[in-house]
């Protein structure tokens, strides 16, 4: 089921990527191929699967974090956001997308977050 802001790689004979901007009652959707419309919902990653509110939350967090130049700072800031958001189960999808973005930065910078929260029962080698 398509949601507002979902990425459409191509549809039928139309080969430009776009985003769903409107859903009609007859089951059709309006797809906008304007690059700025795509950028509105997918600035950092493909956020298809998130609701419009979740996309805005995800992009808002990364808009603030990506103002920094240092990738390690970005990794740590994303981790702090993840730790804050994962307390509320309704943020589960946003947290997963942030983890994916963090993983991308970890591979790029070859660094791990300085601190992170982890379930004690999942720690190995502490006995």
- Cβ count near 1 (within 10 Å): 4
CB distance 41 to 59 below 8 Å: yes
34-to-17, 31, 47, 104, 118 alpha-carbon distances in Å: 9, 9, 17, 26, 42
pLDDT, one tens digit per residue, over 46-94 is 999 999 999 999 999 999 999 999 999 999 999 999 999 999 999 999 9
Task: State how far the Cα of 103 lies from the Cα of 95, in Å rounded to an integer.
Answer: 12
Predicted pLDDT of residue 124: 73
């Amino acid at each position: 089921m398509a949601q507002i802001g979902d990425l459409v790689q191509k549809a039928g004979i139309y080969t430009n990527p776009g985003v769903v901007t409107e859903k009609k009652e007859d089951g059709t959707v309006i797809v906008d191929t304007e690059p700025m419309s795509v950028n509105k919902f997918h600035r950092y990653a493909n956020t298809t699967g998130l609701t419009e509110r979740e996309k805005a939350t995800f992009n808002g967090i990364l808009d603030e974090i990506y103002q920094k130049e240092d990738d390690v700072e970005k990794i740590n800031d994303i981790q702090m956001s993840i730790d804050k958001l994962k307390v509320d189960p309704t943020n589960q999808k946003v947290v997963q997308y942030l983890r994916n973005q963090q993983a991308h930065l970890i591979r790029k910078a070859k660094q791990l977050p300085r601190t992170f929260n982890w379930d004690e029962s999942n720690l190995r080698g502490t006995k």
